């Protein structure tokens, strides 16, 4: 059995590892266009900030580890065409030649590419690029280009276009490096994946660290700055009221999301779904015989919303594992996502899982959302932090639908959102969250965990009078 994975990141490598775990005799080849197999691109901001001291440290596993697991790696090799009926894959080798690889099963893990928004100066023959200090950020190659700008041009200022989680992490990273950051977001508040109340808290944390935040502001053009201006680039934008906004900076980072990389699969006849991502069934089958797909290139089943596009590393790992198992004849199903995510912004963290109020309404629930504060551990023990929690539940059934948390990065925000994720995954009511047997010691928690206190507050506030 020869299994070929296209893509050497979270999805492709997870699939390869699982295939080898299941059958040590499986012949597994991973074809990857870049030369950074199994690198944690989620860690890029922390390499840029200097907290991770060498790019090689971003590898989840080294090439030697991967080879020891029994897979054959083909770095610098681009998959060009899939011949589905003959089970052949045409690739371009690092030397530029062509080669045909036979396969019994194929897993497509081609991931995503950054969106290039319609901003003048970003497209066309005169488009500005890394050599001018204008960057997109997704791959290790993009990261090295950013590092070259930082090291060679020593920018004093940067504009970040976009205030999603990657934009925020990069604002944090560049500020740590001593670069003054202006963050421009077209939506009314930063981090639009959480409620605006939490976006405002994130906004305040950015401002507290000297980041200039312009919300409701759409960037229209990036160009070289006129001579004599401080900063080599000029960014022109329009505020919500139409007023023109101009900033100059030495560097511009455009991080406004990703789109699935699906050309190869689509050319082979795979069906596309939400946001143009590859349609897969719960077993990660594409519908093409012998062809599976996983990660940022596919649609993701959300447990409460149905089909979505949710490009996340945690999801890519799980889907890749399912695809790798099923490529070897397994029948495992991807259990679905809840869109659980967490982001650190300077000394604070914001997290969410499940649905927010408007999403729950759109999905046909009768949601109520309440906001509570609770300590991360007993306040009498030094160093406690207040956590703000927003709980969304269904008024009719009492079912817990979503939770958002904001608080100090050392206040267990990530693990607490995971408690909520586990509860929602299993369809628990908000009331039943109080029954969970959670750990307690005063320096680390409370007899009722913050998540339980928030769920209890939701139950109190929704109880009929």
Contacts with ligand FAD, residue ranges (CB under 6 A) = 6-12, 31-34, 41-42, 44-45, 78-79, 109-112, 137-138, 166, 261, 264, 295-296, 311-314, 316
Q: Which of 201, 298 has the CB closer to ligand FAD?
A: 298
Rounded CA separation 61/38 (Å): 6
Q: Which of 345, 459 has the CB closer to ligand FAD?
A: 345
Q: Which of 276, 398 has the CB closer to ligand FAD?
A: 276
Rounded CA separation 381/157 (Å): 41
**Is the Cα dihedral 13, 19, 22, 25 positive or negative?**
negative
275 contact partners, CB below 8 Å, separation of at least 6: 259, 260, 299, 309
20 contact partners, CB below 8 Å, separation of at least 6: 26, 28, 69, 70, 71
Q: Which of 67, 366 has the CB closer to ligand FAD?
A: 67
User: Nearest approach, Cβ of 344 to ligand FAD (angstroms)?
Assistant: 9
123 contact partners, CB below 8 Å, separation of at least 6: 116
Q: Which of 133, 311 has the CB closer to ligand FAD?
A: 311
Cα–Cα–Cα angle for 150, 60, 175, nearest 5°? 25
User: Nearest approach, Cβ of 14 to ligand FAD (angstroms)?
Assistant: 8
User: Nearest approach, Cβ of 445 to ligand FAD (angstroms)?
Assistant: 25
Measuring CA to CA, how many Å separate 404 from each of 70, 76, 146, 373, 376? 41, 41, 32, 12, 15
Q: Which of 112, 430 has the CB closer to ligand FAD?
A: 112
User: Nearest approach, Cβ of 266 to ligand FAD (angstroms)?
Assistant: 12
User: Nearest approach, Cβ of 431 to ligand FAD (angstroms)?
Assistant: 30
- How many CA atoms within 13 Å lie on the side-chain side of 339? 23
Rounded CA separation 297/179 (Å): 34
User: Nearest approach, Cβ of 326 to ligand FAD (angstroms)?
Assistant: 17
User: Nearest approach, Cβ of 229 to ligand FAD (angstroms)?
Assistant: 30
Q: Which of 107, 457 has the CB closer to ligand FAD?
A: 107
Burial bucket for residue 405 (CB in 10 Å: 0-12, 13-18, 19+)? buried
């Amino acid at each position: 059995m020869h299994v070929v994975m296209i893509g050497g990141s979270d999805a492709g490598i997870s699939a390869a590892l699982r295939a080898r775990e299941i059958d040590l005799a499986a012949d597994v080849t991973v074809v990857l266009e870049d030369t950074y197999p199994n690198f944690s691109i989620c860690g890029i901001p922390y390499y840029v900030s200097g907290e991770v001291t060498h790019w090689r440290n971003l590898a989840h596993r080294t090439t030697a580890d991967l080879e020891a697991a029994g897979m054959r790696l083909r770095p610098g090799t681009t998959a060009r065409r899939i011949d589905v009926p003959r089970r052949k894959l045409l690739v371009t080798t690092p030397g530029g030649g062509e080669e045909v690889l036979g396969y019994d099963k194929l897993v497509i893990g081609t991931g995503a590419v950054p969106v290039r928004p319609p901003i003048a100066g970003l497209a066309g023959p005169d488009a500005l690029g890394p050599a001018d200090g204008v960057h997109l950020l997704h791959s290790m190659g993009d990261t090295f280009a950013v590092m070259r700008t930082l090291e060679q041009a020593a920018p004093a200022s940067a504009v970040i276009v976009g205030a999603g989680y990657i934009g925020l992490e990069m604002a944090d990273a560049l500020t740590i490096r001593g670069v003054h950051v202006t963050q421009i977001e077209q939506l009314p508040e930063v981090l639009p994946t959480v409620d605006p109340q939490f976006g405002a808290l994130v906004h305040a944390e950015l401002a507290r660290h000297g980041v200039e935040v312009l919300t409701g502001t759409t960037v229209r053009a990036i160009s070289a700055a006129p001579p004599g201006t401080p900063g080599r680039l000029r960014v022109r934008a329009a505020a919500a009221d139409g007023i023109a906004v101009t900033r100059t900076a030495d560097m511009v980072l455009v991080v406004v999301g990703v789109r699935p990389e699906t050309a190869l699969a689509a050319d082979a006849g795979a069906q596309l779904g939400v946001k143009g991502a590859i349609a897969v069934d719960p077993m990660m089958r594409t519908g093409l015989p012998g062809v599976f797909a996983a990660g940022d290139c596919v649609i993701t089943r959300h447990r409460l919303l149905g089909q979505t596009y949710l490009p996340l590393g945690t999801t890519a790992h799980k889907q890749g594992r399912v695809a790798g198992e099923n490529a070897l004849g397994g029948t495992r199903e991807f259990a679905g996502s809840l869109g659980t995510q967490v982001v650190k912004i300077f000394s604070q963290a914001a997290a969410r899982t499940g649905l927010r109020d408007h999403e729950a309404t759109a999905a046909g629930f009768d949601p109520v959302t309440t906001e509570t504060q609770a300590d991360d551990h007993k306040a009498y023990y030094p160093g406690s932090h207040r956590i703000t929690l927003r709980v969304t539940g269904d008024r009719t059934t009492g079912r817990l639908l979503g939770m958002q948390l904001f608080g100090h990065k050392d206040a267990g925000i990530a693990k607490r959102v995971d408690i909520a994720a586990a509860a929602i995954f299993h369809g628990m009511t908000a009331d039943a969250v109080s029954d969970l047997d959670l750990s307690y010691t005063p320096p680390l928690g409370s007899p009722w965990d913050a998540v339980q206190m928030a769920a209890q507050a939701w139950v109190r506030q929704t109880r009929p009078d």
